Amino acid sequence: MAAEQFQSLRNYLDSQVLGQPEFTESLLIAVLADGHLLVEGPPGLAKTRAVNALAKGIEGDFHRVQFTPDLLPADLTGTDIYRPETGEFVFQQGPLFHNVILADEINRAPAKVQSALLEAMAERQITVGQTTYPLPELFMVLATQNPLEQEGTYPLPEAQLDRFLMQLNLDYPAADTELDILRLTRGEELHGEVAMPTPLQQSDIFGARKEVLETFIDENVENYLVQLVIASRQPEHYHADLARWLSYGASPRATIALDRCARAKAWLNGRDFVTPDDIQAVFPHVMRHRIILSYQAEADGVTADQALQVILQEVPTP
């Protein structure tokens, strides 16, 4: 039953965000794997539209926060408000107490605001003063950033990047897809347009997450998954170019994320077991924001994705 509901939501997202099936699938993987998602791409690629469509398909509160340089931590977490009629301070919750948070242009906020997100994303709680407040059981941060504009932006610290389950890099659509987008914005009906399904209940999401964690993964496939992450930390054992390109590899959090995302992808595709193909499909999204390239790699014009492709080629597939 849950699988059918997720498939209906997937079809709806594909009809709302044209030509980005990998993006819409990754949104659902993030929901199933109980993680946060960072989406990077030029303006106008429907990043915000996709998150809005996902929020409509899930039972829960949705809140959008436009990140700006003058944003304060209390604007996210909330603050204690003095009530003169009672002479007491009362905590007023901030937007982070919603279920789905769209952090729009997250890299426009300074470090003190980014640090306010760390505790929320990692521990699902917020500390204000002497009191710690738990966040909702269903809690997701879906962040966007624009790679083109560098003025007035602040690079996300590695500690925060590691909190994101995946990072997706979006590109411009093909010509036929752009024609469909044009017709959609004019209000014309497209072939295969899907009506919005009944929103997924939170109990269904938690039940689906349990099924995902129970998805079978063979010991050989599990070892393969671990070796892919280890290769980012010990590149000299795999390829001479990797040793020159990588300064730091991924943390154990990457191993956990790779396992959960591969299970979620298998479950979404109607299987109760994980294959190496599942791992390879999500590997770039899980790893690209967690590895740190060397100055040599940057001088050579090597990207994180190119380094990850070498890892996939060098680690033997079971």
- Residue 306 domain boundaries: 215-314
Phi, psi (5° rounding) for residue 39? -115, 125
Domain edge (last residue) among 167, 184, 201:
184
Residues 49 and 151 in one domain: yes
Residue 163 amino acid letter: R
Residue among 286, 277, 228 nearest 254 (CA): 286
Residues 113 and 172 in one domain: yes
| pLDDT tier at 275, thresholds 50, 70, 90 | very high
| Residue 234 belongs to some domain of the structure | yes
Model's pTM, two decimal places? Answer: 0.89
CATH assignment of the domain containing 160: 3.40.50.300
Residues 10 and 133 in one domain: yes
The rounded mean pLDDT for the chain is 87
Q: Beta 140-145 vs 36-40: how paired, if at all?
A: parallel
| pLDDT tier at 149, thresholds 50, 70, 90 | low
Residues 55 and 147 in one domain: yes
| Residue 200 belongs to some domain of the structure | no
| Residue 75 belongs to some domain of the structure | no
| Residue 76 belongs to some domain of the structure | no
Domain edge (last residue) among 169, 184, 199:
184
Residues 233 and 178 in one domain: no
Residues 240 and 157 in one domain: no
Q: What is the pLDDT of residues 161-172, one digit of tens each?
A: 889 999 998 888
54 vs 192: which has the higher pLDDT: 54
Tokens 């890892």 sit at which residue? 311
| pLDDT tier at 36, thresholds 50, 70, 90 | very high
| Residue 194 belongs to some domain of the structure | no
Q: What is the pLDDT of residues 1-11, one digit of tens each?
A: 678 888 888 88
| Residue 274 belongs to some domain of the structure | yes
- The DSSP code sequence of 23-70 is HHHHHHHHHHTT-EEEEE--TTSSHHHHHHHHHHTBSS-EEEEE--TT
Residues 114 and 262 in one domain: no
Calculate mean pLDDT across residues 18-45. Answer: 88
**At residue 211, does pLDDT exceed 80?**
yes
Residues 57 and 115 in one domain: yes
**At residue 125, does pLDDT exceed 70?**
yes
Q: Beta 131-134 vs 140-145: how paired, if at all?
A: unpaired
The pLDDT of residue 257 is 95
**Distance between CA atoms of residues 272 and 211, nearest Å:** 9
CATH assignment of the domain containing 294: 1.10.8.80
Residues 153 and 268 in one domain: no
The pLDDT of residue 208 is 92
Residues 236 and 176 in one domain: no
The pLDDT of residue 79 is 85
Residues 234 and 161 in one domain: no
| pLDDT tier at 190, thresholds 50, 70, 90 | low
Count the domains in the chain: 2
| Residue 209 belongs to some domain of the structure | no
| Residue 277 belongs to some domain of the structure | yes
Residues 102 and 173 in one domain: yes
**At residue 85, does pLDDT exceed 70?**
yes
Residue among 181, 249, 257 nearest 212 (CA): 257
